Amino acid sequence: MQVKAGSDLVRKQNRAVVIAALRKRLRLSRTELSAATSLSPSTVSAITSDLMNENVVLELREPDNGLVKRGRPQIALALNPARATIAAVELSLNLMSVVISDYSGMILNETADNFNTGTTNSVDILTRMTSSIQKCMEPVSSQLSAIVVAVQGRTDAEGRDLLWSPISPGRDVQLADILEAEFSAPVTIANDCSMIAAALRWQNAERYGRDFLAVLLSHGIGMGLYLNGRLFSGTKSSAAEFGHMQYKADGALCRCGSKGCIEAYAGDYAIWRSAYRLPEDALPPADLTAIDMRQLAARARSTDGPERRAYKQAAAAIGHGLANLFALIDSVPVAFVGSGTAAFDIMEPDIEAAIRNSNAGAYDVLLDFDLYDSETPLIRLGSIMTALLSVDEQITGAGETIQSIVQTNWRALA
């Protein structure tokens, strides 16, 4: 049920509003903050004065922005870069990368560690991760305030444990607990596709404001989904396992061990397997390169052979999944991300056909696709922003929540 409110929560909320405005617009005077937040100048004054005492916000006096104006000049405020330091870790197939950023989002240092993730047990991965972070922090003389680990695979709903990952044999690894003990900073374990979606939203709030879908087309198939301006996740795990919705009962073998998953038709390895007419229950080697796939796509474009059929089947599987998803949430803009987008031209017609041919197609279905060929920068941006926003939360005084008094219309059953 809803919970009581007090004036302290009002302050927290308005502090959060001010910080969010600065996070988004980088430098704002008090007057501009007042306009942006619709708080009165006096309130902005009070809040920013607090925040300056807490070293969260700085006055930038230096740069006369050029235009000379009548009247007292505005003093720009900005988030204090030195207020906090965060780490964004990406763990993907055979690669662990670490980025350190200050509170303003500026990157201070980065490292990459290549090793065979498939043959490394979870204890060793953790050891590598802590030492990577430590190494990356060496030139930075400060403590970490937040760590976000973006990982291919399924995490628990609270973002603490890595339940399963295709890149490593470990299961139920309590990453967050261990890293928190090591760095005494709050740690979040996030699904990589969630971070992609977070990045898109940050980059382009216009287009990816409330509802959209990011689909990662790569060795495997992943998804990040925003609904109502919130990242969607499962009740117990990160879920949103688009790639593991079932396309065909008792169908092709998937990396996850089940049969018939969408990924088992649309992942790089699946397209490869199908193009080379390998048996559906065989897992081909995991070391397909982007070049291999580009050659495959080229052959699919040039001749109507098994390669093209493989891509068409992949498209049908993806379209089937989207149709089913749209049956549940209605159609939303979709951003396809990753190396698989290089062959999107081959697949698009069949993806569209599958959607139009389903129930979703009976309504004014929106087929609004964007392509982003590389996922890495998005995962990085999403992780950094997630970490920074979690620091913002700590600063505004997290923990409690003001519930929405009045939820939209009849969705309100308290």
Is residue 68 within 8 A of residue 59, CB to CB? The reply is no
Of the two residues 8 and 292, which places its CB atom closer to DNA in the complex? 8
The answer to whether residue 67 forms part of the interface with a second copy (CB under 8 A) is: no
What H or E segment, with its residue span, contains residue 224? strand 221-227
Residues numbered 78 to 97 that lie near a second copy (CB under 8 A) are none
Paired tokens of 366: 């929106």
Of the two residues 38 and 141, which places its CB atom closer to DNA in the complex? 38
Of the two residues 183 and 293, which places its CB atom closer to a second copy in the complex? 183
With CB under 7 A as the rule, give the number of residues binding DNA.
Answer: 31
Q: Using CA atoms, how far apart are residues 336 and 322, in angstroms rounded to an integer?
A: 12
Among 329, 349, 374, 377, binds a second copy (CB under 8 A): 329
With CB under 8 A as the rule, give the number of residues binding a second copy.
Answer: 103
Partner from a second copy, DNA, none binding residue 399, C-beta < 5-8 Å depending on class: a second copy
Q: Using CA atoms, how far apart are residues 229 and 212, in angstroms rounded to an integer?
A: 9
Of the two residues 175 and 293, which places its CB atom closer to a second copy in the complex? 175
Stretch that binds DNA, among 46-54, 138-146, 173-181, 372-380 (CB under 7 A): 46-54
SS3 318: helix
Partner from DNA, a second copy, none binding residue 190, C-beta < 5-8 Å depending on class: a second copy
Q: Using CA atoms, how far apart are residues 49 and 323, in angstroms rounded to an integer?
A: 52
Of the two residues 47 and 193, which places its CB atom closer to DNA in the complex? 47
Of the two residues 47 and 223, which places its CB atom closer to DNA in the complex? 47
Q: Considering the complex, what minimum distance in angstroms separates the CB of residue 404 from DNA? A: 16
Paired tokens of 215: 């689909």
Stretch that binds DNA, among 5-13, 90-98, 132-140, 210-218 (CB under 7 A): 5-13
Stretch that binds a second copy, among 107-115, 131-139, 306-314, 397-405 (CB under 8 A): 397-405
Residues numbered 107 to 136 that lie near a second copy (CB under 8 A) are none
The answer to whether residue 4 forms part of the interface with DNA (CB under 7 A) is: yes
Q: Using CA atoms, how far apart are residues 218 and 341, in angstroms rounded to an integer?
A: 8
Paired tokens of 268: 């790089």
Q: Using CA atoms, how far apart are residues 256 and 245, in angstroms rounded to an integer?
A: 11
Q: Considering the complex, what minimum distance in angstroms separates the CB of residue 245 from a second copy? A: 4
Of the two residues 23 and 308, which places its CB atom closer to a second copy in the complex? 23
362-387 per-residue burial string, b: 16 or more CB within 10 A, e: under 16: eeebeeebbbbeebeebbbbbbbbbb
Residues numbered 51 to 80 that lie near DNA (CB under 7 A) are 68-75
DSSP 120-178: S-HHHHHHHHHHHHHHHHTTS-S--SEEEEEESSEEBTTS--EEEETTEEEEEE-HHHH
Stretch that binds DNA, among 33-41, 99-107, 140-148, 383-391 (CB under 7 A): 33-41
The answer to whether residue 352 forms part of the interface with a second copy (CB under 8 A) is: no
The answer to whether residue 411 forms part of the interface with DNA (CB under 7 A) is: no
Q: Which long-range contacts (CB under 8 A, 24 or more apart) does 94-99 make?
A: 94/118, 94/167, 96/125, 96/128, 96/129, 96/132, 97/380, 98/132, 98/133, 98/135, 98/136, 99/136, 99/380, 99/383, 99/384
Q: Using CA atoms, how far apart are residues 40 and 119, in angstroms rounded to an integer?
A: 59
The amino acid at 387: A
The answer to whether residue 10 forms part of the interface with DNA (CB under 7 A) is: yes
The answer to whether residue 163 forms part of the interface with DNA (CB under 7 A) is: no
Is residue 149 within 8 A of residue 110, CB to CB? The reply is no
The residue count for the chain: 414
The answer to whether residue 194 forms part of the interface with DNA (CB under 7 A) is: no
Among 19, 22, 48, 396, binds DNA (CB under 7 A): 48
Q: Using CA atoms, how far apart are residues 16 and 118, in angstroms rounded to an integer?
A: 42
Q: Considering the complex, what minimum distance in angstroms separates the CB of residue 171 from a second copy? A: 10
Residues numbered 228 to 257 that lie near a second copy (CB under 8 A) are 230-231, 233-237, 239-242, 244-246, 249-250, 254, 256-257
What H or E segment, with its residue span, contains residue 95? strand 95-102
Stretch that binds DNA, among 2-10, 247-255, 340-348, 372-380 (CB under 7 A): 2-10
The answer to whether residue 2 forms part of the interface with DNA (CB under 7 A) is: no
Stretch that binds a second copy, among 68-76, 111-119, 152-160, 273-281 (CB under 8 A): 152-160
Judged by the rule CB under 7 A, the positions of this chain that interact with DNA are: 4-8, 10-11, 14, 29-31, 38-49, 68-75
